[in-house]
Amino acid sequence: MPRRAVYLAKETQMHSTLTVPPHREPSAVRNSGVRSVWAGERMLPILEEYFNLLLRVCGPQKWWPGRTRFEIIVGAILTQNTSWRNVEGAILALRRKALLRPAAIAKTRVEDLRPLVRSSGYFRQKARKLKDFVAFLEAFYAGSLTKMFRTPTEKLRGELLAVHGIGPETADSILLYAGKRPVFVVDAYTRRILQRHQITHGEKTYEEIRGLFERSLPPDTTMFNEFHALIVHIGKNFCRPKAPKCSACPLACFLPQPIEGAE
């Protein structure tokens, strides 16, 4: 039988539908050979075990917060180099001014956008990035997100990456969360967890890590969405840069060796 995603349920059915493998001892993980992926393997099936365990323990994260596709895109741009808490204030300020529409941003001077997005940090650059995105949307798709998201994924990804201020993580966030495309988002939390679990190291590029996830998991948009959100949850609450809470982390059973300075 071909391998299928266990993640087939809608969000309201997740807990009753998923089959989650039992916890594995760290020694079993160390000796299983799964960490030879960068020596030539192209897939890492244990990533699906990570996902299943996180979903069972942490539950659905209900991410990305946003009322519309455009609001999600604005959030993806504003969250660069800052926390979501700082972005929320900027989103609220834009909403109060009725600016969470492409046409409204297009008509607003960049000087008037700056104070509204100040709380997100780098507000001068981010105001310009918002203007540049809506200019791209108008030039390529007559200002229509519906038309934009009809474009094949790889073609659209290339176009987004050509827009000033949109890098791989932002482009993939737009594709996954606003466009519902099965594109995995890699962030600093993902890198930190993979490195501490000896799955990858600092020399691997964004595209290499993204490719690893996309080859190792079923191409399921909902699964990618939830997995990335769960990784963010673990990175913020357990796998912190300093004094990580390894003993309390749901992924502790997969950790191959203790992390220095861990609680």
- State the Cα–Cα distance between residues 107 and 110, nearest whole angstrom: 9
Q: What's the distance, Cα to Cα, between the start and end of the chain in Å?
A: 43
Same domain, 76 and 158: yes
Same domain, 148 and 111: yes
Half-sphere exposure at residue 189, Cβ-oriented, CA atoms within 13 angstroms: 18
Over residues 100-137, the pLDDT tens digits come to: 999 999 999 999 999 999 999 999 999 999 999 999 99
From 128, 158, 178, the end of a domain falls on: 178
From 134, 162, 178, the end of a domain falls on: 178
Is residue 191 a part of any domain in this protein? yes
Is residue 260 a part of any domain in this protein? no
Same domain, 193 and 245: yes
Domain harbouring 210, CATH code:
1.10.1670.10
229 contacts: CB under 8 Å, gap ≥ 6 = 61, 62, 63, 64
Over residues 69-94, the pLDDT tens digits come to: 999 999 999 999 999 999 999 999 99
pLDDT for the residue numbered 41: 52
Cα-Cα-Cα-Cα torsion 128, 82, 187, 106, nearest 10 degrees, comes to -20
Same domain, 83 and 173: yes
From 147, 178, 209, the end of a domain falls on: 178
pLDDT for the residue numbered 202: 77
Is residue 6 a part of any domain in this protein? no
Is residue 235 a part of any domain in this protein? yes
Half-sphere exposure at residue 245, Cβ-oriented, CA atoms within 13 angstroms: 9
Judge whether 129 and 81 are in contact, CB under 8 Å: no
Residues of the chain with pLDDT under 70: 1-41
Is residue 261 a part of any domain in this protein? no
Domain harbouring 124, CATH code:
1.10.340.30
Stated pTM of the model: 0.85
The domain in which residue 99 lies consists of: 69-178
Same domain, 168 and 76: yes
pLDDT for the residue numbered 141: 98
Instruction: Count how many domains the chain has.
Output: 2
